[in-house]
Amino acid sequence: MRLGIFMMPVHPPTHSFADTLAEDEEKALYADQLGFDELWVGEHFSATTEPIPSPMMFMAGLASRTKNLTFGTAVICLPNHDPVVVAAEAAQFDHMTRGRFMLGVGPGGLLSDFELFDNADRAVRTRKFVESIKAIQKIWSQDPPYDIPGEFRSVTLKDAIIPKLGIGYMPKPYQKPGPPVSTSLSSRESPTARVAAQQGWGIISGNNVPNSAVASHWQTYSKACVDAGKPARGDNWRVARNVMVAPSDAEARDRIHSEQGSNHYFYTYMREVLSRVGILSVLKPDPAMSDEEATVEVITEGCMIYGSPKIFLDKLVAFRDTVGPFGILLMTGLDWSGPNRAWERDSMRLLAQEVMPRFRQHVMSQAAE
C-alpha cells in the first residue's frame, strides 16, 4: 500500500504563474520529506486555474532534489501531442530519473484544450489517443527503420539512417520495455477501465468521482482483466481523493467546509465547470439527485474522506472494503492561499505519519488471511 500526491493543480485564476509553480514545487518537496511514494501532475494548456502545460518539465526540476518520489504524468493528453515527441521526451525523462517514472496518458478532459487543438469530436479524440499510445510503444520496441502507419500521424524514418553514427535512432526508455502506463477514469462506470485492462495498463480513479462511484471502476477493470486472461492486480489501481486529516473531527469538518478552504473552492470550481458543460452528474453522490440538490456541501461530503487520524483511518478502511483493493492512495494537492498552507501541511503530515502506517498494517493483515 503506497501513498502519493496528485496535483492537478487547482488555484485561483488570479494567482501569478510563477507563484503557483513555486507553491506546487514546495508541496512536492514536502511530500518527499514525509516519505510519500509518488507524485502525479496534471497537464492543461488553457486554464490559469490548472496551469501546468508540461508535467515532465515541472517534475524534471524536482528529480535531483527528491529521493522517495516516483513521478507520474496525470495525464498527458495524447490527442494534443505528436506521438513522436511524447515518445522521445518520455524516454529522456525516464533516463533522467533512472526509472522513477510512470506514464499516465488519456484523451483529455478540458474543453478549452479541445478547442485549442481542434479535438472537439470525442470519437476522433479517442481514436487519436489509441493510435498515439500504440505508436509510442512501437517506437520504444524497435530500432529503425520506423514505418508505423496511422489514421492521424504516420511515423516514417527509412532513408536518413546511419547506424555507425546513431543517426535515425529514437531514444528508448530506461525501463524495459518502457515505463508502466496508466490512464485516468473520470466518470461512474467508466468504459476506459475496460480499455486499460485489455491493454495491461493501470487505472487512476479521479478525485472528482464521488466515493460511491469508485467501486464501479474496479468492477469493470477486474472483470475485463479476467476476460482478457490477465490478473486483476490492486497494486495497479490508484485512487485519488480529496482528503483532510486534522487534530480533531470537528476541525477537519470545519476546514473542508470553510469558505476560505481550498476544498470548498475546488468543489465550487468543479461544480460550475461541469454544470456549464452539462455533466454535473459526474460529481453527484447520487446520480438521481437534482442539480439543485447537488450543492457544494453535498458534493464535498460525497467525494471527500476527512476526520481526525483515528476516524480518518476507520473511514479509509471502510472505503477500501467497499470499493475494492486499490494499492495506492493519491491525496489531492490543492491551493495554499490563506490558512490552507498550514491546513494541508498538517493533513499531509498526519496522513503520512499517523494514518498510513496503521492502514498498511491493516492491508497486510487482510492479505495474510
Model confidence over 344-361: pLDDT tens digits?
Answer: 999 999 999 999 999 999
Half-sphere exposure of 334 (CA within 13 A, CB side): 30
Where does the pLDDT of residue 282 fall: very low under 50, low under 70, confident under 90, or very high at 90 and above? very high
Nearest to 87 by CA among 170, 146, 154: 170
Whether the Cβ atoms of residue 110 and residue 47 lie closer than 8 Å to each other = yes
Per the structure, the complete domain to which residue 199 belongs is given by 2-74+180-248+306-368
The greatest distance separating any two alpha carbons of the chain, rounded to the nearest whole angstrom, comes to: 68
pLDDT over threshold 90, residue 367: no
Per-residue pLDDT band at 368 (split at 50, 70, 90) = confident
pLDDT over 90 at 302, yes or no: yes
Number of domains in the chain: 1
Model pLDDT for residues 50-91, shown as the tens digit of each residue: 999 999 999 999 999 999 999 999 999 999 999 999 999 999
C-alpha cell at 180: 508502466
Cα–Cα distance for residue pair 32/35, rounded to 1 Å: 5
CA neighbor of 50 nearest in space, from 270, 321, 360, 315? 270
Rounded Cα distance, 178 and 171, in Å: 11
Residue 50 counted as domain residue: yes
Cell digits of residue 75: 495525464
Of 124, 126, 138, whose CA–CA distance to 195 is shortest? 126
The DSSP secondary-structure symbol of 9 reads -
Identify whether 331 is part of a domain: yes
pLDDT over 90 (residue 16): yes
Q: pLDDT value at position 369?
A: 81
Nearest to 128 by CA among 86, 90, 81, 87: 81
Q: Is 307 helix (H, G, I), strand (E, B) or coil?
A: strand
Task: Please indicate, yes or no, if residue 185 is contained in any of the structural domains.
Answer: yes
In a domain, 197, yes or no: yes
CATH of the domain at 240: 3.20.20.30
Model pLDDT for residues 88-142, shown as the tens digit of each residue: 999 999 999 999 999 999 999 999 999 999 999 999 999 999 999 999 999 999 9
Nearest alpha-carbon partner for 267 in 238, 319, 302, 215: 302
Residue 62 lies in a domain: yes
Give the per-residue pLDDT at 111: 94
Q: How far apart are CA 343 and CA 345, in angstroms?
A: 6
What is the overall mean pLDDT for the chain? 97
pLDDT for 159 beyond 80: yes
Percent of the chain residues past pLDDT 90, beyond the cut = 98
Query: Which cell goes with 312?
Result: 480518518
**Residue 144 domain flag:** no
* List of residues 6+ apart from 34 with CB closer than 8 A: 348, 349, 352, 353
Q: Hey, is 101 helix, strand or coil?
A: strand
Instruction: Provide the grid cell at 293.
Output: 440538490
Is there a domain that residue 282 lies in? no
Contacts of 36 (CB under 8 A, 6+ apart): 3, 4, 5, 68, 69, 348, 352
* Contacts of 279 by beta carbon, 8 Å cutoff, 6+ apart: none
102: alpha, beta or left? (left if phi > 0; alpha if psi -120 to 50) = beta
- Dig out the grid coordinates for 326 from the structure: 486499490
Whole-number pLDDT of residue 319 = 98
What are residue 191's phi and psi, to 5 degrees?
Answer: -70, -20
Q: What torsion do the CA atoms of 270, 274, 279, 280 make, to the nearest 10 degrees?
A: 50
Q: Residues of 127-143 as b/e, b for ≥16 C-beta within 10 angstroms?
A: bbbebbbebbbebbeee
- Whether residue 37 is contained in a domain is answered as yes
* DSSP three-state, residue 333: coil
Q: How far apart are CA 313 and CA 57, in angstroms?
A: 35
pLDDT at 9: 74
Q: Residue 35: pLDDT above 80?
A: yes
What is the pLDDT at residue 361? 96
